[in-house]
Structure formats: structure tokens, C-alpha cells
Chains A and B, each alone.
Chain A
Amino acid sequence: MRRLLGVLDQFWFAEAPAARLSVLRILIGAFAFYLVGSHYEKWTKIGHTSPVLFQPVGVVAILDQPLPPVVCQGLIIATLVANVPFILGWCYRFTGPLFAALLWWISSYRNSWSMIYHSENLVVLHVLILALAPAADALSLDSRRRGGGRARRDLAAGWQYGWPIRLICTVTVLCYLVTGVAKVMGPLGASWANGEALRSQVAADALRKEVLGDAGSPLFYVLYDEVWLFTILAVVTLVLELGAPVGLLNMRLARGWALSAFLMHWGVYFIMGIKFRYQLSGILFASFFDVERLVAWFTALRGWGEARLYPVGGWRLPKVYSRPFKP
């Protein structure tokens, strides 16, 4: 038993640098800001939809009827406001959970009008994990305010920075697994892999987009008769979805899986014209990589830019800011 606990401890609470978790906070927080900000008009207008179409899901299920539109708009604005300290890591102990709760609420509310946008699930879950983890111990206003050992904390590693990253990766692969299970447990069973099912799904999507005045993918017309291609795509999709948990066993496998899933979503975009923005941006898969290196690259790039702009003498940033990051 003790040995098992030891193995679990080593697996789940492996050390990771504070900066890695903080970079994830910044990337995922920035994506959430883009998601809410770019849909601001659409999401506020949803509040004016007929109550007949209100079908509450998730936390919003506590409501019997929709909120007044002005309350809905206020909550969206509050979410955008709370998003800023989340990214900057300011008073994170309070602003982190507050932002996560607001995002959860407004996303659930937005999905309570007869259609669930599944591409938003993981953004909410990732933000929730980050909000309850010490994700502002580095690269944040909080860490700057504490002063002194800013750089030391940025470099620090600990189990408390490792488990949230492990959990983000786990939740990500499990969502893919659940998606794969729904396909093989659905009415088609394993025959989903023969390509016909996938082609008919893409065809239905393309057709309804055309008759309802939205843009489909012109590439689908070219590929429609190539059933073999859809068979390959269906098999690859099932392998990536059902095989996703394998990615948890080994970091190299995990990165291989993340890269393949990332490419799969780009394939879906080209063939179906469906934009899963979180997946296409690559931010969904960032937790599988040493993203703290971005800070080093950014610092090096800035140093290179400064050297070109101010070759001799001239104004420079203080040394502490221009020092390259070494993990």
C-alpha cells in the first residue's frame, strides 16, 4: 500500500517549475479573454432570446427562467473585468476563483439556449484548475509585489506547481476519451470507423450550412467521393480519442498525442470548416510542453531587439529584466 502511495505521489505530485504553471495561466487566461471578448455582442444578444428556447444546463440549471438581459450583460462585463487580474496574477487568491466562477456561469448560460458548444468545455475546466492552484507564484503582479526573490520564485520548482499541470493534461485526454466512447457506444458502434458515418456527418454539416446561409468548406465537394480518405480520418480520430489516456503514461507519448490531436483539428477545419478555436490555437495542448521556455525565448528576443536598437550606450532595461531565463 505504501509503495503504491509512493508511486502515486511521484506520478501525480511530480515537481514542475512555477513559471510553467504561470505561463499556462497567461495563455489560457488570454484565450478566455479572446473567447468572451470576441463573442461579447453575440452572448449579450442571447439574453434577449425567447424564454421558450431556454434549456438550462450545468450550474444554470438552478434557474427556472432566463435572467433579465441586463443582468446577463453585467455578468459578461464582470467576467471580462475579472479576466484581467487573472492574466496579470493580481490578488490571485481572490480574483482567480472569482473569474473561474464567472466564466463557468456565463459559458453555461450561453450554452443554455438549445445548443451546447462542446469546444468551450475545456476552456472552463482549465481555468477552474488554474484558479484553484498557485498559478500566480511567478510571472505575476503578486510575485512582483512580494519583491526580492522574484527571479528565484520564477525558477522555483515544486509539487504544488506540478499537479495542476498533470490535472489539466488528464482532464484534456479524458474528454477526448469520453468523445471516442460516445462514438463507439452510439447507434453505429465500431462501424463508425468505416468512414461512411464520418462522411455523412460532414455532409450534413455542409448541407445545412449552405441552406441556412453559412459558409461550408469547398474542399468537401472535392473529397466527397473519396470514401477511403474518410475511413483513414475516422480510424485516426478513434485511435486518437480512445487512445488518449496512453498519453498520460509517458511524456514523449503525451507530446506525440498532443501534436497529432492538434493536427487532427486543423484537418477538421480544412475539411469541415469547423473552427474549434481553443484546439486550433494550440493553447489547449500547451500543458503537455515546457511552455516556460516561451519566457526565455521572449527575453532573448527582447534582448536581441534592444541590442539592435541601442548598440552602444543609450537607454536599456535594468539587468534583472533582460537576463535570459534559464530553467
Chain B
Amino acid sequence: MTELESRLDHADLSSASTSSCSRRSLLGKGAAGLFSLLLIGATLAPIMQNWRTKRGIDTEGGARGDSFPFSYYPMFSQKRSRLYKVNYLVGLDAQGNRHLISHEFAGEGGFNQTRRQIDKLIRRNRAHTLCRHVAAQVAEAIEPPTTEIVTVQIVTGAYEFAKYFVGDKGPVSELVRASCPVSYRAALQQTPVGKP
């Protein structure tokens, strides 16, 4: 009898332990399931942005409503015409020769981020501020041909892909948004040699 009671007690304990374990497991699965559903929902939700915004693009030229890390990944979905407009930086030396200036003189965030920042500043009519900033950076350059640049220009060029990629690299049209001298080098150019 005592042995039977002991066995029954043991069975009860074992069943209680199993039940507690399965309850914990169920709670764990519930929490994991809820987290999974939330994350899946957050990943899929940005799809709605395609319907919400007209063509997904705003007047800023960027993707409206895009976010991080939950995005609707609008890159590569834009429609492009044969004529492509791009903003860039041009340097002129004392002889009037043109040199393309690297985006690194305009910003620190890597190629695409700096490119977007240049576009944004031009859209907000701050091309002159950008030009002065680039000119100041160019003035500190130590390697030619950048050291020969006396004037910096912020330019919008229109290019035709079909021509550009067969070797005709000139722009179809070009608009100078801002122009400014590279301060100390421009002063040196104007100062006659031998005079302080």
C-alpha cells in the first residue's frame, strides 16, 4: 500500500512537472509566435507605400515614406528617360581646363549618400553654400590636378545614355548652378610673382 502510494505520489509529481514544463513551453511558443508575427507584419507593411504615394516618389526626388530597417525598397523601380540629368562638381584651372571633382570633397557619407546630399542642396537653392564648402576643401588638397583648380562649379548636366556609353562623353546640355573661386589659390593667381 505504502509502495503504491509512493508510486502514485511520484506519478503525480511527474505529471505536475510535465504539465508545468508544457505550460512553460506553450508560453514560450506563444511569445515567440507573437514576436514572429509582429516582425513579419513590420517587414510586409511597407508594401502599402507603393499604393499610398503617387509612384512612390516625392518632390524631394527621394522615396517618400521609406524607412529603416523596414523599407519598401523603391530603388531600381523608377522610370528613366533617355536623357539623364545629374548634378556634379567641376573644377577649372587657370588655363580654363575642366576637371571633374570627386564627391569626397562635398561630403563624408559615401558615394550615394553624398550624391543625394548634393541633389538636396541644389533643390533647396543652396548650391552656393555647397560650392563654397567644396572650394574650401579643394583649397586644402595636396595632389594635382586638384591643386591646380582655381574655380569650382556646381553643375547639372543632361546626358544621353546611348551616346555616352559608345564613347561620346560630353553632356547634351549643362547648367552651372553656382561658381566660386578657390580662395587662396585664386588670390595667388592674381598676385604678381615676386610680390607679397
Contact = CB atoms under 8 A, between A and B. Distances in A.
Given A46-B109, A160-B32, A200-B80, A174 B69 contact: no
Contacts of A118: 71, 73, 75
A107 B68 contact: yes
B116 interface: yes
A213 B112 contact: no
A211 B69 CA distance: 30
Contacts of B86: 204, 207-208, 211-212
B41 to A, nearest CB: 10
Contacts of A187: 55, 77-79
A176 to B, nearest CB: 9
A264 interface: no
A45 interface: yes
A122 B76 CA distance: 18
B184 interface: no
Interface string B126-166: 10000000000000000000000000000001010100111
Contacts of B72: 178, 181-182
B47 A178 contact: yes
A115 interface: yes
Given A46-B109, A53-B117, A181-B50, A213 B71 contact: no
Given A45-B108, A46-B109, A116 B80 contact: no
B54 to A, nearest CB: 9
B103 A213 contact: yes
Nearest to B130: A50
Contact of B43 (A46, A178, A183, A206): A178
A216 to B, nearest CB: 11
B182 interface: no
Contacts of A224: 165-166
A163 B25 CA distance: 13
A53 B120 contact: yes
B195 interface: no
A316 to B, nearest CB: 41
A321 to B, nearest CB: 32
B159 to A, nearest CB: 6
Given A163-B32, A167-B36, A203-B161, A125 B109 contact: no
Interface in A104-134: 104, 107-108, 110-111, 113-118, 120-122, 124-125, 128-129, 132
A215 B58 CA distance: 29
Interface string A140-172: 000000000000000000011001101100110
Interface residues of B, number: 65
Interface string B72-111: 1111111110101010110000000000111110011111
B116 A115 contact: yes
B102 to A, nearest CB: 3
A221 interface: yes
Mostly, the A contact residues are helix
A212 B108 contact: no
A114 to B, nearest CB: 4
Contacts of A57: 66-68
A52 B39 CA distance: 32
A58 B65 CA distance: 10
A252 interface: no
A204 B84 contact: yes
Contacts of B104: 213
A188 interface: yes
Contacts of A121: 68-71
Contacts of B66: 57, 116
Contacts of B74: 182, 186
B7 interface: no
A212 B89 contact: yes
Interface string B23-44: 0010011001101100110011
Contacts of A270: none
8 contacts: A113-B117, A159-B29, A163-B32, A178-B72, A182-B47, A182-B74, A187-B79, A209-B111
Interface of B: 25, 28-29, 32-33, 35-36, 39-40, 43-44, 46-47, 50-51, 55-56, 62-63, 66-80, 82, 84, 86, 88-89, 100-104, 107-117, 120-121, 124, 126, 157, 159, 161, 164-166
Q: Which A-B residue pairs are the 10 nearest by beta carbons? A: A213-B102, A186-B77, A45-B108, A185-B50, A115-B113, A179-B73, A121-B69, A187-B79, A200-B80, A212-B103
